Amino acid sequence: MKINKLKSKAFSTKAIHAGQEPDPSTGAVMTPITLSSTYAQKAPGKHKGYEYSRVSNPTRKALEHCISALEEGSFSFACASGVAASSLIFEILKPGDLLVAEEDLYGGSLRILTKILKPRGISIHLMDLSKEDNIFKIPKKAKMIWLESPTNPLMKLIDIKKVSAVAKKNKSLLVVDNTFMSPFFQKPLLLGADIVLHSATKYLSGHSDIVAGVITTHCPDLAESLAFWSKSLGPVLSPFDSYLLLRSLKTLAIRMKAHEQNALELALFLEKQKRVKKVLYPGLKSHPQHQLALKQMSGFGGMISFYLKGGKKEVFECLSRFQIFTLAESLGGVESLVEHPASMTHAASPHPPSESLIRISTGIEDVKDLKSDFLQALKSKKPFKRQENKAR
Ligand SMILES: *Cc1c(COP(=O)(O)O)cnc(C)c1O
């Protein structure tokens, strides 16, 4: 269905129909996977809108229309991974430019900043933007401001509207990585961001079987530049993965509701466990920015982090005991995952998080089974007590 006809429709309707009409030549209801790399022309330059699949492909185009509808933006780009999407956006920066970024970011984004952009002569300034005072200290000359909210893995929230007001005043571009929330729970473009991106590998795919990234903007000039870099550099998503992602989006709304329902129940449950020191989940009243969560998001998502009492040994012992949760990197799939940021996703970070921090991606299994998995994993074999030094 055409985007303009769907404008007034609800999220789940858009997720199922946007960019997708029955195939005019066969009536096929599902968008065909167009594998062709090239397209016939009647005369040079006279074609049906497609010339070469690096530039544009019908399956990828359908996906890009659907993403634009969900983020309430105008132009989208589907890329071969989340980091490919980030790299395309970073093409905006030239040597001498200043990039201001939230300090608690996806490890791979920090790696691009410190190991690729900085050596190219782009200045990087990391700040804790969850502190409101700091938002007003963002340097005026920042060309771009880059953030995630909630942050990964500390689950801090950043007031996107406040940052966007500062960005607009200073003519800085605001980029929001919306991977943790998905457009179902948070729409950064409506909060004033210029560009939103996702690792579509996570919630948008939801089944841990695609690596993909998407970018959306409402600004025609930015879209023109992104389209130019995309066609010139070629980090595009394949037709098959575009199809899989389009298929995944159809269930995004029901999946996100189920992730959130389980996560909220699990977070409350974890707060009551003796071996758990602190739970970080924006849906909990104990989260210091719970009020901002209520204002800026329409739900709290499926990601939870928590501190376990004890050190690395106790944490590793617990991590290896899970039976339903899988110990693995990544997030956003229907299956529950657990991981150790300090040694896995954030090992390369300039400030790795505490050894006692555990991050979970709550899946959509029955929450009773998730809780009982936790109960057995938290049960230490020995009573939990620091060992006395017997030699003394
Ligand atoms: C995974 C992730 C990325 C990188 O995406 P890939 O698809 O793995 O390339 C970027 N940002 C966030 C928040 C992520 O979780």
What distance in Å separates the CA atoms of residue 305 and residue 286, rounded to the nearest whole number?
13
Whether the per-residue pLDDT at 48 is higher than 70: the answer is: yes
DSSP characters over 137-191: TS-TTEEEEEEESS-TTT-----HHHHHHHHHHHTPEEEEE-TTTHHHH--GGGG
> The dihedral of CA 65, 71, 74, 79: what is its sign?
negative
Contact 157, 130 (CB under 8 A): yes
Active site residue 307: no
Q: Tell me which of 275-289, 350-364, 369-383 is least confident.
A: 369-383
The secondary structure of residue 343, as a DSSP letter, is: T
What's the mean per-residue pLDDT of the chain? Answer: 95
Give the pLDDT confidence of 171-230 residue by residue, as tens digits.
999 999 999 999 999 999 999 999 999 999 999 999 999 999 999 999 999 999 999 999
54 flagged as catalytic: yes
Task: Report the pocket of ligand 1 as residue ranges, CB < 6 Å.
Answer: 81-83, 106, 108-109, 148, 152, 177, 179, 199, 201-202, 211, 213
User: Is the link from the previous residue into 188 a cis peptide, with omega within 30 of 0?
Assistant: no
Amino acid at 208: S
Q: Which atom of ligand 1 is nearest to the CA of 332?
A: 15
pLDDT at 349: 79
Q: Which of 82-91, 149-158, 350-359 has the lowest mean pLDDT?
A: 350-359
First and final CA of the chain: distance in angstroms? Answer: 76
Name the pLDDT band for 392 (thresholds 50, 70, 90): very low
Task: Name the one residue in this structure whose structure tokens are 């795919």.
Answer: 205
- Dist. CA 266 → ligand 1 center (Å): 24
Please identify which residue in the block is written with the tokens 């560009």.
Answer: 195
How many angstroms does the Cα of residue 39 sit away from the middle of ligand 1?
Answer: 33
Residue with tokens 């699990």: 266
List pLDDT tens digits, range 235-252.
999 999 999 999 999 999
Report the percentage of the chain scoring pLDDT > 90: 92
Catalytic residue among 14, 104, 106, 241: 106
What value does the CA radius of gyration of the chain take, rounded to a whole number of Å? 22
Which has the higher per-residue pLDDT, 154 or 347?
154
Cis status, amide bond into 153, omega within 30 of 0 = yes
pLDDT digits 0-9 by tens, 294-309 = 999 999 999 999 999 9
281 noted as active-site residue: no
Question: What is the average per-residue pLDDT within 344-352?
Answer: 84
Question: Across-strand partners of 214?
Answer: 78, 198
Assess whether pLDDT exceeds 80 at residue 311. yes
| Residue showing tokens 């009409």 | 21
Query: Looking at residue 381, what is its pLDDT?
Result: 61
Residues 100-145: tens digit of each pLDDT? 999 999 989 999 999 999 999 999 999 999 999 999 999 999 999 9
Q: How confident is the model at residue 383 (pLDDT cuts 50, 70, 90)?
A: very low
Kindly tell me if the per-residue pLDDT of 85 is higher than 70: yes
Could you identify the atom of ligand 1 that is nearest to the CA of residue 86? Answer: 10
Residue 177 bears catalytic tag: yes
β-pairing, 195-199 with 213-217? antiparallel
Confidence category of residue 351, pLDDT binned at 50, 70, 90: confident
| Local confidence band at 382 (pLDDT 50, 70, 90 cut-offs) | low
Beta pairing, strands 142-148 & 213-217: unpaired
Probe target for ligand 1 pocket from 178, 186, 201, 339, with the most ligand atoms within 8 Å of CB: 201
The CA 180 to ligand 1 mean position distance, Å, reads 9
Name the pairing type of β-strands 357-361 and 337-339.
antiparallel
